């Protein structure tokens, strides 16, 4: 399939990693970067993530595919504006929440040129320097409400994701937002909360550094994630996040009650039940 001029709007972790993969897999004739941060723009060029940096309007005009990789609060304003400016280009995003976004553009006359996607990959780091080669290999990508996209746009985006090593899942926006609340968003809230707990109770930074085990490090790793990205995600998916958070708090109360009442049998039962996750996640 013909290579494309690809514009990456937001050349950070996700956008930069996608740029690396599109170049490595021969999907891009040229990669144009767009970023409001001058520092990010310089780094993206220096790291070879993009061939050139342009302002958004010029990038739209010179591109066949426009990838929106910005925080979801910006995305909900940016997507309709970009669609207004396009002719027949393919527009896609990599955002973590979908229902509000898709409602916003549901009646847009160029809705068919847009493909809503969510690659299920990320790290706790941000910025162009965080971009990784082979980032998406053997990971899932969710195509959301794909039936609303034009066939040629959906086919190209699907091909691109397969080419970079991802397997495709298809979901409705409401289902996507529920599932990501449970498997992604709650993990970040838990990590942020645990980090705050330790920082509040353990005032000796050296003790945290020296005594922290691999288990603790893996649990709080996500607490290093960028708040500019995660605050909008939590707010846009508020109802689903509150639902899973209430269940999580209920589970924590069970552990607390076991310890208070010295209920060893139930404590063991709770842990054994949790162990069942290893049948799903190796």
- When pLDDT is cut at 50, 70 and 90, the band that residue 206 belongs to is confident
Write down which residue in 144, 171, 198 finishes a domain: 171
Measured distance CA(62)–CA(53) in Å, rounded: 12
156 and 190 part of one domain: no
CB 136 within 8 A of CB 164: yes
| CATH classification of the domain holding 236 | 1.10.3660.10
- pLDDT tens digits for 7-57? 999 999 999 999 999 999 999 999 999 999 999 999 999 999 999 999 999
pLDDT the model gives residue 214? 65
pLDDT the model gives residue 200? 82
The tokens for 158 are: 């699907």
Write down which residue in 152, 171, 190 finishes a domain: 171
Supply the Cα-derived Rg of the chain in whole angstroms.
21
Measured distance CA(128)–CA(207) in Å, rounded: 32
> DSSP secondary structure string, 52-114?
EE--HHHHHHT-SEEEE-S-HHHHHHHHHHHHHH-SS-EEEE--S--HHHHHHHTT-TTGGGE
Count of structural domains, the chain:
2
Task: Using alpha carbons only, give the angle 183, 185, 187 rounded to the nearest 5 degrees.
Answer: 70
Write down which residue in 171, 199, 223 finishes a domain: 171
What's this model's pTM, rounded to 2 decimal places? 0.92
Does residue 212 have a pLDDT over 90? Answer: no
| CATH classification of the domain holding 78 | 3.40.50.720
pLDDT the model gives residue 130? 96
- Percent of the chain having pLDDT more than 90? 87
């Amino acid at each position: 399939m013909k290579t494309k001029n690809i514009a990456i709007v937001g050349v950070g972790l996700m956008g930069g990693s996608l740029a690396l993969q599109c170049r490595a897999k021969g999907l891009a004739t040229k990669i144009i970067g767009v970023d409001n941060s001058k520092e990010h723009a310089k780094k993206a060029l220096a790291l070879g993530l993009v061939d050139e940096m342009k302002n958004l309007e010029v990038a739209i005009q010179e591109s066949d595919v426009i990838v929106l990789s910005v925080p979801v609060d910006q995305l909900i304003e940016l997507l309709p504006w970009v669609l207004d400016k396009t002719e027949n280009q393919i527009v896609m995003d990599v955002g973590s929440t979908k229902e509000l976004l898709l409602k916003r553009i549901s009646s847009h006359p160029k809705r068919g040129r847009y493909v809503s996607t969510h690659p299920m990959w990320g790290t706790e780091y941000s910025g162009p320097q965080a971009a990784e080669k082979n980032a998406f290999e053997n990971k899932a990508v969710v195509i959301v409400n794909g039936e609303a996209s034009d066939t040629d746009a959906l086919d190209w985006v699907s091909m691109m994701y397969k080419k970079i090593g991802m397997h495709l899942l298809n979901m409705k926006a409401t289902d996507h937002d529920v599932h990501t609340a449970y498997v992604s968003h709650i993990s970040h809230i838990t990590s942020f909360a645990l980090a705050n707990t330790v920082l509040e109770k353990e005032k000796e930074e050296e003790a945290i550094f020296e005594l922290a085990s691999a288990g603790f490090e893996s649990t709080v790793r996500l607490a290093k994630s960028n708040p500019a990205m995660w605050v909008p995600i939590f707010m846009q998916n508020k109802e689903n996040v509150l639902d899973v958070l209430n269940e999580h708090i209920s589970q924590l109360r069970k552990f607390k009650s076991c310890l208070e009442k010295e209920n060893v049998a139930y404590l063991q039962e709770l842990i054994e039940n949790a162990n069942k996750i290893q049948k799903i996640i190796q």
